[in-house]
A and B are shown apart, each in its own frame.
Chain A
Amino acid sequence: NAGVTQTPKFQVLKTGQSMTLQCAQDMNHNSMYWYRQDPGMGLRLIYYSASEGTTDKGEVPNGYNVSRLNKREFSLRLESAAPSQTSVYFCASHSQRGGRDTQYFGPGTRLTVL
């Protein structure tokens, strides 16, 4: 199992450009999440998807859109990137099987918006 994979690992954008961050999990989890992490701010939830076909806003959804393409994949799109979106983005999937309640994280995408 690869767990949670994210692409790309690094990206530099100019203000106004768009891009999509890809996330996939092979653990058959229902829930998936997108977080951003800024220095000293911890993780902030952008969007989450409790199951295939559903998405909900988190704490900081403005400037982002998401697509839960199927059970495996949950993508995050920046339509018009802004310098304030410079951050490290983490995707996670969530399991509640067997009494566990655990999030599994991808390696992150470092995004810089100039």
Chain B
Amino acid sequence: SQQGEEDPQALSIQEGENATMNCSYKTSINNLQWYRQNSGRGLVHLILIRSNEREKHSGRLRVTLDTSKKSSSLLITASRAADTASYFCATHETSYDKVIFGPGTSLSVIP
């Protein structure tokens, strides 16, 4: 089964609202990453949070990590129509040099 699981699977909000996506995982990790994928395109790296960090910011993005609950959240503030995309969390496992992706959250921002 997949390491990361995003929640919700789909999210639809109005432009200007905040969007929150959650990710849960199962094993020990070195770090957790969030990626964005526009329809029909490859993935683009957004932000990385290490296992010893609890919160990280990058522009309108805020990521939190709770290693005790094995969960992370991605908050996009003041959303724009251009934020419409699928968002994936990915975990870099401690034991293996590989990155495992969750099924993603499909975000629609309505103008």
Contacts and interface: CB of A to CB of B under 8 A. Distances in A.
Is B a genuine binding partner of A? yes
Nearest to B50: A101
A interface majority secondary structure: strand
A56 B2 contact: no
Contacts of B88: 42-43
Interface in A83-114: 90, 92, 94, 100-108
Given A42-B104, A59-B100, A100-B48, A106 B30 contact: no
A74 interface: no
A72 interface: no
Contacts of A45: 98-101
B104 A103 contact: no
Nearest to A31: B97
A2 interface: no
B67 interface: no
Interface in A24-43: 31, 33, 35, 40-43
A42 B30 contact: no
A71 interface: no
Nearest to B88: A42
A95 to B, nearest CB: 10
B98 A101 contact: no
Nearest to A110: B40
A59 B103 CA distance: 14
A13 B30 CA distance: 39
A104 B42 CA distance: 9
Given A48-B98, A101-B48, A42 B103 contact: yes
A90 B98 contact: no
